[in-house]
């Protein structure tokens, strides 16, 4: 039987797919048996988790010695919300070049008509979330709201609110929502670092659309690395988690949230198979603080490519046992190179704390604030040595906006961000705004994510804010000067 990780839109399986777009909203990927290499590192810098005003629920044990979760469900269940979304996806026939293998090709050719071009169809999705502040701040998964044009939050008292996406970080799969409400019930934030393997845990969410469902199990493993998720040391559990649970909280027996349910290990049918994964709440709260305050996530970077050390490699390098992270490549001019790291070095410890393997290093370095000094214990030439490094800055990419709104123009249908210094240097540009998302007029005009808007009606664009100001003054049709790759072109756009 083949197995897969249901991720990045797993919550959408519970939603009703519209107009023949069935299956388009569910993403999956195969689980590799092992990771030979871990990518360069970058995750949110540390920040103390915000405390919630609610008092912790006391764990109750039954006469048979099993935990009783009723107190936790009663006290914190009202803070768990249902998150429903409406977005658009390209229809199944939206192929760039369908060719003669497509049966519709012959149908349209018979009537002397070309194949219809790509178009988008509506899709509805469903997930979970939980309230972390009484004034309406909510945590969920980034894949729950990815591609959503509308996000609605439903409380257990049946009230519904249109939610704003404050920010979403796809690298950690964390999103922050806000609804306009006061005096809301909240969860209590715990500390995932204190979680023990074998500890009882409880998940509350909306599996397959069944709101406020509670399932329980134990923590199966800590700091679990998954293919393609180098920034998150996942908590593995055997809690029954299914599509629709995505974004919901994972509680410990004290009633504290220690994780956000995010992914499952599943058969091809997409159901629960006894293995689920949660984002540690410490990681999520670090990301939340940065998204809420600055609109983007800063990540530390060492600038090295690493891999695990097996027994054969340990023997080759003279190590007593397989341990640490083997440096396979060092980026020229990066933080690792400046510290003196070389290919063949084995990083054994960071600031005195042992590095158990290649999957352990990325999240630890990425969680450090860029510029932070760090001491690396390295195995080289059959001996230990200490190196001093200064954590580098990962490429700055805006992943969200502050609450006052994204730096874009609703009239244009564009979500844009400033160019990073590296992007300016590589493209040899003095200004411009990078397109991150398109809707409405911009989408109809053919603007694409990654395009750089250089000018509007001849006026040079120096920042996202200036583009918005220019668009607000414009009427009718405008001409955007766009750089796409190495080419520049003018794109006419009808204002919305």
Give the residue numbers annotated as catalytic, written as ranges. Answer: 143, 173, 246
272 Rama class: left (phi>0) / alpha (psi -120 to 50) / beta: beta
The backbone torsions φ and ψ at residue 5, rounded to the nearest 5 degrees and listed phi first, read -95, 125
* Non-local CB neighbours of 287 within 8 Å, separated by 6+ positions: 43, 44, 169, 172, 174, 176, 297
* Long-range pairs for 57-66: beta carbons < 8 A, 24 or more residues apart: 57/254, 57/255, 58/254, 58/255, 59/253, 59/254, 59/255
Which residue is listed with tokens 């990681």? 283
C-alpha span between 7 and 144 (Å, rounded)? 10
C-alpha span between 107 and 136 (Å, rounded)? 53
Q: What is the DSSP secondary-structure string of 175-224?
A: EEEE-S-SS----EE--GGG--TT-EEEEEE-GGG-TTEEEEEEEEEEEE
Residues 343/303, Cβ–Cβ less than 8 Å: no
Residues 278/38, Cβ–Cβ less than 8 Å: no
Which strand (E) or helix (H) includes residue 293? Answer: helix 281-294
């Amino acid at each position: 039987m083949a197995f897969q990780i249901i991720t990045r839109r797993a919550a959408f399986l519970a939603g009703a797919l519209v107009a023949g777009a069935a299956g388009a909203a569910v993403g999956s990927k195969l689980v590799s048996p092992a990771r030979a290499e871990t990518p360069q590192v970058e995750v949110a810098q540390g920040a103390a988790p915000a405390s919630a005003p609610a008092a912790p629920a006391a764990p109750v044990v039954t006469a048979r010695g099993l935990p009783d979760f009723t107190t936790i469900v009663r006290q914190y269940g009202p803070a768990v919300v249902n998150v429903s979304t409406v977005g658009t996806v390209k229809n199944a026939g939206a192929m760039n070049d369908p060719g003669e293998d497509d049966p519709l090709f012959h149908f349209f050719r018979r009537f002397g008509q070309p194949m219809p071009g790509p178009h988008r169809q509506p899709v509805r999705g469903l997930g979970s979330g939980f309230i972390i502040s009484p004034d309406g701040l909510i945590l969920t998964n980034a894949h729950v709201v990815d591609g959503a044009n509308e996000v609605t939050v439903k409380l257990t008292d049946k009230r519904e609110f249109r939610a704003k996406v404050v920010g979403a970080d796809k690298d950690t799969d964390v999103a922050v929502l806000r609804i306009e409400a006061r005096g809301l019930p909240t969860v209590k934030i715990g500390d995932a670092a204190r979680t023990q393997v074998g500890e009882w845990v409880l998940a509350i969410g909306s599996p397959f659309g069944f709101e406020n469902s509670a399932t329980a199990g134990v923590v199966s493993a800590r700091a679990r690395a998954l293919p393609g998720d180098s920034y998150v040391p996942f908590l593995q559990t055997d809690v029954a988690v299914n599509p629709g649970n995505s974004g919901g909280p994972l509680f410990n027996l004290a009633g504290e949230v220690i994780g956000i349910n995010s992914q499952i290990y599943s058969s091809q049918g997409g159901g629960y198979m006894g293995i689920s994964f949660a984002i540690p709440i410490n990681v999520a709260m670090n990301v939340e603080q940065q998204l809420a305050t600055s609109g983007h996530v800063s990540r530390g970077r060492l600038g090295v490519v690493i891999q695990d050390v097996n027994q054969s490699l340990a023997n080759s390098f003279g190590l007593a046992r397989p341990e640490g992270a083997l440096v396979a490549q060092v980026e020229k001019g990066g933080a690792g190179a400046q510290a003196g790291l070389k290919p063949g070095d084995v990083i054994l410890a960071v600031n005195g704390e042992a590095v158990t393997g290649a999957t352990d290093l990325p999240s630890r370095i990425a969680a450090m604030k860029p510029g932070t000094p760090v001491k690396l214990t390295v195995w080289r030439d059959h001996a230990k040595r200490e190196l001093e490094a200064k954590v580098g800055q990962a490429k700055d990419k805006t992943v969200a906006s502050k609450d006052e709104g994204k730096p874009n123009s609703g009239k244009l249908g564009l979500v844009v961000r400033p160019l990073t210094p590296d992007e300016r240097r590589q493209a040899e540009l003095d200004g411009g705004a990078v397109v991150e998302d398109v809707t409405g007029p911009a989408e109809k005009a053919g603007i694409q994510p990654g395009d750089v808007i250089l000018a509007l009606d001849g006026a040079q664009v120096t920042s996202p804010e200036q583009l918005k100001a220019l668009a607000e003054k414009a009427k009718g049709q405008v001409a955007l000067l766009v750089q796409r790759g190495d080419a520049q072109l003018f794109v006419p756009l009808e204002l919305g």
